[in-house]
Amino acid sequence: MGPPLVRAAQPIRQLWDLTRHRTDVVRERAGEAQRLRNLLEDCGIKLTSVVSDFLGVSGRRMLKARFS
């Protein structure tokens, strides 16, 4: 057997938890963006050919103008 495992200090564990949570949130946001892009393309709106980030400022302005 190897040496006994040492438990990390509380601040380090909290940092790990926050990092894990942030990773999950970023992954969820990317999935939602992908679903929205697919939905828009199914409706015939292809923003990705016009702007690089369709959820950026310009993309959101275009979406707002289109659906207002």
**Statement: the pTM of the whole predicted model exceeds 0.85:** no
pLDDT in tens, 9-65: 889 999 999 999 999 999 999 999 999 999 999 999 888 888 988 899 999 999 999
Q: pLDDT tens for residues 21-30? A: 999 999 999 9
- Rounded Cα distance between 59 and 54, Å, is 4
Alpha carbons 13 and 45: distance in angstroms, whole number: 45
Instruction: Please say whether the dihedral angle defined by the alpha carbons of residues 24, 25, 29 and 30, taken in this order, is positive or negative.
Output: negative
